[in-house]
Amino acid sequence: MTSPLAIVILAAGKGKRMTNPELPKVMHPVGGKPMVDYVIDLASKLNPQVTLVVVGWNKEVLVQHLSTLSQPLTCVEQSEQLGTGHAVLQTEDALKEFEGDILVLSGDVPLLVESTASALIGYHRTSDAVATILTAEVSDPSGYGRIIRTKDGNVKKIVEDKDATKKEKEVREINSGIYVFKKANLFEPIRQLERNNVQGEYYLTDVFEHFLRNKWQVSAVKALDAFEITGINDADQLQRAEKILLLRSAT
């Protein structure tokens, strides 16, 4: 029997480097519609039991837009933007009755396609992993967290660029920030997160340290096209995403 699926879309951030800093980042248009719409369209194709959108900065604009869409969505507020771990923690009450797998998507990653997301979920369900990470291999991994694997292909650790050894820096497989978790193993480790980092935030990636310390299996699936996991943080990245969407529509 297939495990039920819940989807959490992280969409609470402010687009500090975008052309209109007064607009929630995920509301900036790509190809004629807000980038979050592509993520919501993808979510609906995966037949989730529930889809939650974590809203935050200038949330009224985003909530109003989401109310015009046909997909059934539930908004969860992150009143303070204290990081991705904190954002996911805000969904715990809404998922109290849910048992199954939780797919975490980023509202500012609009190029991910259904086949890749389905492969991620499918691999997770056929493994014994408590979490499965979507990764990609890139020519220049500078600045990204590296995926360090065991000999049997599971994840040994995620190491941030600034903490990587010379050998680890040579690894070109990077973390996308898109994950599937077994709900039963997720929220307790999140509650144990600390924000002793430069940003003063609760990072979702830190839960993997807990998983691996407890010898819980963590798997990874590599996206065939690294462009799919591109996050949009500024106007240049927005333009590149526009070009990729145009190329896709032309094929």
DSSP E strands in 57-130: the ranges are 74-77, 101-106
Rounded to a whole number of angstroms, the distance between the first and last alpha carbons of the chain is: 36
Residue 155: closest CA among 186, 185, 132: 132
Burial 154-177, CB ≥16 within 10 A → b, else e: bbebbbeeeebeeebeebebbbbb
Residues 212 and 133: their CA atoms lie apart, in Å, by 13
Q: Hey, which residues are catalytic here? A: 17
Residues 121 and 210: their CA atoms lie apart, in Å, by 21
- What 8-state DSSP symbol labels residue 237? H
3-state secondary structure (DSSP) of residue 5: strand
The length of the chain is 251
